[in-house]
Amino acid sequence: YNWKFVTEEQQGQVQYEYAAEFAERLHEKSDGRINMEVYEFGGLGSEVNQVELLQSGGVEFAIVSPGFTGTMVSEGQLFALHFLFTDDMRLNQQILDESEALNVHLTEKYEQFNIKPLAYWTEGAMQWTGDRPLTTPEDFQGFKMRTQTSPLILRSYEAYGADPQELSWGELYTSLQQGVVQGQENPIFFIEDAKFHEVQDYMMISEHNIYVAMTTVNTDFFAALPTDIQDLILETVEEMRPVAYEMQERMNDELLGAIENNDRHPTEVIELTVEQREAFREKALPVRDFFIGEVGEDGKKILEMLIEEIEAATN
């Protein structure tokens, strides 16, 4: 078997390292029968192009951020809701692993588009960077915020009064540098590795959301595989859960220091207080109603079930 596995990130970044490790394990498990070529971001087009490639079978496997499927699988936009998950990342990963709302019901929605999510996993808490401090919703007034392509992500920033703009991350460094956009959101490891801190003066530890990625396979392709091969894939998906968690945790920890101690491009790191985060949470809550209005009955049920699961895990 010769398969392609495309990621939205580059060598050294979490998604790519995940896919490389995944490919190696599957190669070994199958006694060399399965060979996966891992593609870093850039060579196969934008993130949205990559999703299309996955759907058409041009690649068999992909890591996909739900933020790039928003106009297609509208239910997947629930990951755009700020302050939905807990502040405990390990618990969040456990919820992602075990949630029926996600692993059964949201997965069905993706499968209607020939995309089979095999795992939902986090790349860490998301932080804001900006050309100015962003500590109150007022600071976002008219602020040109870069986002992924999802109406609900835009809506989340409009709720703070911002002027959000969709952009591939391939264009983000230059756009920040030239002031086309003034800020963006990402986990720490990604901010450092993509060097966004070089062109941003402030990084807010906002933890307003968690970054979720999906390990996905083309549904038709997977269904046509012999069961023993399917089992090897599913086994590898399971093995990778703790590996991915540790990978992102280590990189996020290490690279915070690299941003803080960078003399060439000093970035002020501002940790939002409990009260400051609360002011954002208040503005963010009504966006849940917008989501429900937008995605219809099934989406509403998925979100409500997920909220119940999160509450059950917290108590």
Binding stretches for ligand 6CS (CB under 6 A): 8-9, 47, 65, 123, 148, 169, 186-187, 190, 211
CB nearer to ligand 6CS: pick between 232 and 255: 255
Q: Which is nearer to ligand 6CS, 9 or 75 (CB)?
A: 9
Q: What is the DSSP string of the chain?
A: -EEEEE-SS-TTSHHHHHHHHHHHHHHHHTTT--EEEEE-TBTTB-HHHHHHHHHHTSSSEEEE-GGGSTTTSGGGGGGG-TT-S-S-HHHHHHHHHH-HIIIIIIHHHHHTTTEEEEEEEEEEEEEEEESS---SGGGGTT--BEE-S-HHHHHHHHTTT---EE--GGGHHHHHHHTSS-EEEEEHHHHHHTTGGGG-SEEEE---SEEEEEEEEEHHHHHTS-HHHHHHHHHHHHHHHHHHHHHHHHHHHHHHHHHHT-SSS--EEEEPPHHHHHHHHHHHTTHHHHHHHHHHHHHHHHHHHHHHHHHHHH-
Greatest CA separation for the chain: 58
Shortest CB 88 distance to ligand 6CS, Å: 20
**CB of 7: closest distance to ligand 6CS in angstroms?**
8
Minimum CB separation of residue 61 from ligand 6CS in Å reads 16
> C-beta of 42: minimal distance to ligand 6CS in Å?
11
Based on CB atoms, which residue is closest to ligand 6CS, 148 or 215? 148
Distance of alpha carbon 66 from alpha carbon 122, whole angstroms: 12
Q: Which amino acid is at 243?
A: V
Distance CA 34, CA 11 (A): 21
Q: Closest CB to ligand 6CS among 186 and 218?
A: 186
Phi and psi at residue 33, in whole multiples of 5°?
-75, -30
Least distance in angstroms from the C-beta of 29 to ligand 6CS: 27
- Give the nearer residue to ligand 6CS in terms of CB position, either 61 or 222: 61
What is the smallest separation between the CB atom of 281 and ligand 6CS, expressed in angstroms?
Answer: 22
Which CB sits closer to ligand 6CS, 214 or 302?
214
Shortest distance in whole angstroms from residue 51 CB to ligand 6CS:
11
Nearer to ligand 6CS, 148 or 209 (CB): 148
Q: Which is nearer to ligand 6CS, 121 or 222 (CB)?
A: 121
Nearest distance from C-beta of residue 292 to ligand 6CS, angstroms: 25
